[in-house]
Structure 1
Amino acid sequence: MFSKSCEYAIRATIFIATHSDREGKVGLKEIAQQIDSPIAFTAKILQVLVKNDIIKSSKGVGGGFMILREDLKNIKLLDIVVAIDGNSVFLRCGLGLSNCSEDHPCPVHEKFKFIKKDLAYMLEHTTLEELSFGIKKGWTFLKY
């Protein structure tokens, strides 16, 4: 459903969020290792997230990536998805057809539009605070 870049962006953002309550920042290598992503690919994704004001970064000794604790309630999963993949996940045909519409529907069009609506609701109402809480408590995981 999401691009590989978007999957890594979501994982990276959640990982950074789990460290928002400690002093300091999380480094690129640690993020890449914890989300099982190549370092160069992770760096590009993090640049996009910084540019879209989802995460903060600082360079130099003691630098790295962070999310302010007070921002965790305001950053929604939708923010990450739109920053990386745009809104194509809501517009794309369930079968990947380029001309699928209400007037010219694919075989799964009617059923898939409800899935897209539910997905949009979930992304709009899921915060980083909620997702990082599950990681901190050990209820959810970012890698095997």
Structure 2
Amino acid sequence: MERIASFTVDHTVLVPGLYLSRRDGNVVTFDLRFKRPNTGQLLSNSQMHSVEHLIATLLRNSESRDAVIYFGPMGCQTGFYFLYDGDKLTGSQAIALLQAVFARAAEYSGPMPGCSAAECGNYKNLSVEEGRAYCAWYRDLIASWTEEKLKYPAK
């Protein structure tokens, strides 16, 4: 059986940042790494869930909504994947979109999007404060990110 692309990345040298994970036709996948892998320091379920609700909602309400395919957490609890249509956004535009959306989320003061039993399967596990704090941290991390920095680190 072939290894999937994400298993070919050397997780022993991976640090928090924003990376180009893969391109599949016009679908581009960004790796939004929040935690260094295999350190025992992971995003809690509530932190991941809260960031997911804020960022997915803001992406799908942005001017680039038609280019957004998916935003969601990694099972390893170290970050998120953002998939977008590379025919509609360049890498630079996608980075700028993420910078803007994380900046908005860091200042978000409304009710948590999708925070009801009718809208979410685990709505009690959401916190605007946790989501906002992690979004502010990531906003600062990627504030000066460029396409040149999208490459995964090597040993």
Bigger Rg over Cα = 1
Q: Which has the higher helix share?
A: 1
Calculate the TM-score normalised by the size of structure 2.
0.30
Calculate the TM-score normalised by the size of structure 1.
0.31
Q: Which has the higher strand share?
A: 2
